[in-house]
């Protein structure tokens, strides 16, 4: 497999992007695969919310430091 910059990939990835997970049902056509896909997408949503809350906290701390 080659990487996006043209070099050879040394190891296979251990993670999927959110877009890659969204494409899985088109390849894996089973009810179980679709259910697993839904759960993974929900995990991405929870992760995004968690990261957003940390960004808000960081913004508030920076504001307090400026004062």
Encode the chain (67 residues) as per-residue pLDDT tens digits. 455 566 666 777 677 777 887 787 778 778 888 888 888 889 888 988 888 888 888 888 889 888 8
Q: Which residues pair with 7 in a beta bridge?
A: none
Helix or strand (DSSP H, E) at 38: helix 31-66
Q: Which residues pair with 8 in a beta bridge?
A: 2
What predicted TM-score, i.e. pTM, was given to this entire model? Answer: 0.56
CA 60 to chain centre: 25
The token duo for 60 is: 């508030």
């Amino acid at each position: 497999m080659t990487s996006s910059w043209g070099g050879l990939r040394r190891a296979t990835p251990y993670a999927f992007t959110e877009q890659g997970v969204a494409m899985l049902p088109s390849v894996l056509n089973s009810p179980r695969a679709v259910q697993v896909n839904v759960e993974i997408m929900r995990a991405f949503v929870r992760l995004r919310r968690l990261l957003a809350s940390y960004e808000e906290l960081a913004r508030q701390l920076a504001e307090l430091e400026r004062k």
